[in-house]
């Protein structure tokens, strides 16, 4: 028997989604990073709700599916702790692009996951 939440994802009510206000970012280092690096990104037509503190809402074009992957790299496991941050970012993007290529998916965006001690 599978997990009780397995199966088709629940659809969101379009009226409820359109009523959502743009996300307001909180206070603290996590939100400072989001503001500093991601708040100026341009909007896309398929992004219903963009950069925020919890999640984004995407609406792929009719007849298409969305393949999403986020592999998090860990210092001391996937790269040396003193590694250049740009090299770590390059590797993180490369491993996720590889996952998409394995599914024959066309990359259109790059979700980011970060864990700090």
Q: Is the pLDDT of residue 83 over 60?
A: yes
> Tokens 């599916």 label which residue?
65
Same domain, 84 and 113: yes
Among 13, 44, 61, residue at a domain's last position = 61
pLDDT of residue 3: 44
Taking alpha carbons only, the member of 62, 65, 102, 95 closest to residue 78 is 95
Query: What is the tally of structural domains in the chain?
Result: 2
Q: Is residue 11 part of a domain?
A: no
Structural domain boundaries enclosing 41: 24-61
Co-location of 72 and 116 in the same domain: yes
If you average pLDDT over residues 92-100, what whole number do you get? 93
Same domain for 71 and 104, yes or no, is yes
Read off the pTM. 0.63
């Amino acid at each position: 028997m599978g997990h009780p939440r397995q199966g088709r994802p629940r659809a969101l009510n379009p009226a409820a989604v359109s009523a959502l206000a743009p996300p307001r970012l909180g206070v603290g280092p996590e939100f400072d990073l989001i503001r500093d690096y991601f708040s100026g990104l341009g909007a896309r037509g398929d992004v219903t709700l963009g950069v925020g503190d919890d999640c984004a809402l995407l609406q792929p074009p009719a007849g298409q599916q969305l393949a999403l992957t986020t592999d998090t790299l860990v210092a001391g496991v996937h790269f040396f702790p003193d590694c250049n941050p740009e090299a770590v970012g390059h590797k993180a993007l490369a491993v996720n692009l590889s996952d998409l290529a394995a599914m024959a998916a066309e990359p259109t965006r790059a979700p980011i996951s970060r864990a700090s001690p």
